[in-house]
Chains A and B, each alone.
Chain A
Amino acid sequence: MKTNACAKTFGGRTVLQAPALELAPGRICAVVGANGSGKSTFARLLAGVLPPDGGGRALPPSVKVGYMPQKSYAFRMTTRANILLSGGGPERAEALMEALQIGHLARQRATGLSGGETAKMALARVLSRPCELLILDEPTASMDMESAILSEGLIQSYCRETGCAVLLITHDLQQARRMAGDALFFFRGQLWEQGPAARVLFSPERPETRRFLEFYGGG
């Protein structure tokens, strides 16, 4: 799957300039970088919730995209109804709720869930629908370790079973190393380094990436 080159400017400041990329189906690509490096803007451009500079699209409109924003939003309805919104069907919703250990919250109003529970509900919601590109913006940031590991397993199974490409934006380098086959490193709004995760996240070529890995993950 090919993405188009895209850029985004806010108030005269260019926050992102990304070249055209190729994302492999059935593989997880981790997107890492410090705060303000343009990771979430890149995700929002690909998801189509933010228009790139000069119009156009970051992805062809025919690509079916699933997107979980950085801040999970719970609609004013039950947890189950929230998950069913994606149209994945009740069986899939039940299975995902059980897998993420939120089955007991199915009938509870989703606006009353904790931060971690809301994130699990949002993950179940986006995973209940098949797509070609799944964009997850820090999906486990508000979860405890056990829930994060559970979620990682579900994301990997989803990727394997549906053959979709997964773009995983994360600050957790260990998570990126556990899950990703490929990796992108963003630095000051530019795609600084890309390639197999084994190289980018363990022995990067550029000094900025090495400094980032030393600081965040003791690379």
Chain B
Amino acid sequence: MRTSLQKALALILSGDRELKNILWVTARMSLSSSLIALLIGVPLGLWLGSARFRGRQALVVVNRTLMGMPPVVCGLLLYMLFSGVGPFGKWKLLFTVDIMVLAQVLLITPLVVGNLETFVSGVAQPVRETARGLGLGAGKTFLLLANECVYPIFSTYLLAFARAIAEVGAVSMVGGAIAWKTNVMTTAIMQYTNRGDFSLGVALGMILMAVSLLVNIAVSLLQRRLSR
């Protein structure tokens, strides 16, 4: 264990090229997917939490079910759709970072929607009633509601990013964990551990935790600043 840790530290300090490539692919995939999920999920969550229409509860239940979708099921679904014989096979997306981002977006968006919906449904009524009492229109009311959600949006982003960076099932199925191309930290840790190369696995694990810590600190600072 101690030797593995020493080797891992040496690997990180040496600026190993393969390690740098894994980090780059991971950052590209996690940041893109979490941001896209946020862009889609925030308006959907605001709408689902504040709108009153027949079938709203059914949509909430569907979203909550999707929140628990196993990543391997998502990976399998995309694999079938984008493989050579699948309906989208001609796009040749399988085993690329793009399809890994797509898989992550499918997994993360319901989490963003669900988190926002839960928060918004608690504040929508007082916001709507107060805005109505001041004679404000629907557009202004929606903006006020969005403004009330700044803090939970940051928390939700952290959740989305954490899910994206730590996910392994879907990305390994659709990305294939190809070295120098689609290998991300989680899939690489599995590969190196299976090969008995614990030092690179430990190094990646340490970096994964450090990146997660840095992102959490950065977002929390921004959240604090904007919430003042």
Q: A75-B148, A77-B147 are in contact. Are A66 and B135 (CB under 8 A)?
A: yes
Residues of B within 8 A of A86 (CB): 134-135
The B-contacting residues of A in range 75-104, CB under 8 angstroms, are 75-77, 85-87
The B-contacting residues of A in range 115-140, CB under 8 angstroms, are 122, 125-126, 129, 131, 135
B147, closest chain A residue (CB): A76
Query: In the complex, which of the residues B126, B128, B133, B144 contacts A66, with contact meaning CB atoms closer than 8 Å?
Result: B133
Question: From residue A173, how far is it (CB to closest CB) to chain B in Å?
Answer: 25
Interface residues on A, range: 20 to 34
Residues of B within 8 A of A71 (CB): 126
Interface 9-mer from A1-9, A19-27, A41-49, A151-159:
A41-49
How many pairs of residues, A versus B, come closer than 8 Å at their CB atoms? Answer: 55
Interface residues on B, range: 10 to 19
Question: From residue A178, how far is it (CB to closest CB) to chain B in Å?
Answer: 24
Counting CB contacts under 8 A, is A73 at the interface?
yes
Given the complex of chains A and B, what is the CA–CA distance between A47 and B228 in angstroms?
33
B228, closest chain A residue (CB): A109
The A-contacting residues of B in range 93-127, CB under 8 angstroms, are 126-127
Counting CB contacts under 8 A, is A68 at the interface?
yes
Given the complex of chains A and B, what is the CA–CA distance between A75 and B136 in angstroms?
14
Q: Are A131 and B132 in contact (CB under 8 A)?
A: no
Question: From residue A60, how far is it (CB to closest CB) to chain B in Å?
Answer: 15
Given the complex of chains A and B, what is the CA–CA distance between A179 and B130 in angstroms?
24
B140, closest chain A residue (CB): A85
The B-contacting residues of A in range 30-59, CB under 8 angstroms, are 44, 47-49
Counting CB contacts under 8 A, is B179 at the interface?
no
Q: A69-B126, A71-B126, A75-B144 are in contact. Are A47 and B133 (CB under 8 A)?
A: yes
Question: From residue A87, how far is it (CB to closest CB) to chain B in Å?
Answer: 8
Counting CB contacts under 8 A, is A199 at the interface?
no
Q: Are A76 and B134 in contact (CB under 8 A)?
A: no
Q: Are B126 and A49 in contact (CB under 8 A)?
A: no
Q: A76-B147, A77-B147 are in contact. Are A64 and B127 (CB under 8 A)?
A: no
Q: Are B126 and A129 in contact (CB under 8 A)?
A: no
Q: Are A69 and B129 in contact (CB under 8 A)?
A: yes
Q: A75-B144, A75-B147 are in contact. Are A66 and B129 (CB under 8 A)?
A: no
The A-contacting residues of B in range 127-178, CB under 8 angstroms, are 127-130, 132-136, 144, 147-148, 150
Given the complex of chains A and B, what is the CA–CA distance between A204 and B133 in angstroms?
32
Instruction: Pick the most buried of A48, A65, A71, A85: most chain B CB atoms within 10 A of its CB.
Output: A85
Instruction: Pick the most buried of B128, B130, B132, B148: most chain A CB atoms within 10 A of its CB.
Output: B130
Residues of A within 8 A of B128 (CB): 49
Encode contact with B along A153-182: 1 for CB under 8 Å, 0 otherwise.
000000000000000000000000000000
Q: Are A126 and B133 in contact (CB under 8 A)?
A: yes
Given the complex of chains A and B, what is the CA–CA distance between A102 and B134 in angstroms?
20
Q: Are B132 and A47 in contact (CB under 8 A)?
A: yes
Residues of B within 8 A of A129 (CB): 134-135
B136, closest chain A residue (CB): A85
Query: In the complex, which of the residues A64, A73, A135 contacts B126, with contact meaning CB atoms closer than 8 Å?
Result: A73
Counting CB contacts under 8 A, is A67 at the interface?
yes
Residues of A within 8 A of B134 (CB): 66, 85-87, 125-126, 129
Shortest 5 CB-CB contacts between residues of A and residues of B: A67-B133, A73-B126, A73-B130, A86-B134, A49-B129
4 other contacts beyond A73-B127, A122-B130, with CB at 8 A cut-off? A49-B128, A76-B147, A77-B147, A129-B135
Residues of A in contact with B (beta carbons under 8 Å apart): 44, 47-49, 64-69, 71-73, 75-77, 85-87, 109, 122, 125-126, 129, 131, 135
* Residue contacts A-B, CB under 8 angstroms, 18 given: A47-B133, A49-B129, A64-B135, A66-B134, A69-B129, A73-B129, A73-B130, A75-B130, A75-B144, A75-B148, A85-B136, A85-B144, A86-B134, A86-B135, A109-B228, A122-B130, A125-B134, A131-B135
